[in-house]
Structure 1
Amino acid sequence: MNKQQLLFYILELEGTFVFAMSGATASKQHGLDLFGIIAIAFIVACGGGIIRDVCIGSIPPAGLKNWYYLVTSTVASGITIALYSFIQRLKHPVLFFDAIGLSIFAVTGAQKALLYSQNAEVAILLGTTTAVGGGLLRDVLLKRIPVILRKEIYASAAVVACIIVVLGNHFKWISSGWVSIIAVSTCFLLRILSLRYKWHLNFFFTKKSNH
């Protein structure tokens, strides 16, 4: 396994862990039982990656084939349940964990598409799908309006991260590790700042029309 593949797997497991915490926290808030919490956590953590793998022909998908994805999401669920009272003290814990998972999976999704010799457009589309797919499934199962259908900077932040990965892979000005760090950080900051300052895609257009 080369350095790029090792970095990919590390990021994938980190994304799996935080997305599973996002799903487990949301499930706990909705009063689901232990099985429901673990199931939703796994779906959130691996749903987007499974869709991506099916699209690029990586069959069976890594989320189903490799046991450590299930173990990682289950451990994250257990930690969430054990530390739920502490997690609840965080302001909007689901949004925080979701922003981290979104950022990491946008990067790993685009990277895996490129590893499978897909072009830039496919890498951006599947990177975005990897990032938002699990959250979309979570919201549907918990009967919430999916985040990507709300007036928020969510999928667009993932698109920006994917574009950074694609450009970094094309120009190779810096190492893949630094490209990943820049892409993850950019996506996370865009998501968090948009929540903090209530930015959305028509924000500037709305301001302009009010003048």
Structure 2
Amino acid sequence: MRKVYILLLIATLAITSCTTTAPLAKSVAYKGMYEEKPSVALIMPPINRSTNVEAKEFFHSTLYTPLADAGYYVIPPFLSMEILKKESAFDSELFLDTPLNKFAEVFGADMVVFTIIHKWDKSSLASNVNVDIEFIIKSAKTNEILYTRRGEIRYNTSVSSGLGGLGGLVADLTLSALNTAGTKYVDVARVCNYYILKDFPAGNYSLNHGLDGAQLAGLKSFKVNLSAK
């Protein structure tokens, strides 16, 4: 019986070691980015699977800046949106698993940015905005996934009245509820985009281009608490 327990322990340790992933360098985790060296990004309209119909606009309007700051030329979203609507290509989900070479021909894009909003919920009582967002960035030339990351982000909007006791608790809850209701959700989307893309490889227009490959990439899937403070 003891031998059986030992064998089970060894098997458990083996399975655990196989499922543990060590941090990877960016050049390994995002190998395609360093091989293809894309410089022009096309932002597709976000795919909204949440119950908040406005979440799509929140994210679409805040994606340009973090990508541009990372060193990429981003096709102006207002321009690309008009063309996509005209060509009946507004539904991004139709193109997730199809060849993207047409986007390279029409827009001159090297990579196509897809975002999937899995959840966008606000809780005034808990003073949180809970977001589950996924990025899938694909090559417009090879159709390969160059970058993918998904995060569950809890954005805390609570504030303190500075008062103590039961009265202070009630004041804190009231202020936090009002603060959550008055939160600019574009700001929440902006923070989420910056956080997820903070490990994005530097583009051709960045001084760090080609110099950040040894830096560690972020986790492909993560959970994090962020604060409005």
Q: Same fold (TM over 0.5)?
A: no
Give the structure-2-normalised TM-score.
0.30
Relative contact order higher in (CA < 8 Å, ≥ 6 apart):
2
Of Structure 1 and Structure 2, which has the larger fraction of its residues in strand? 2
Of Structure 1 and Structure 2, which has the larger fraction of its residues in helix? 1
Rg larger in structure: 2
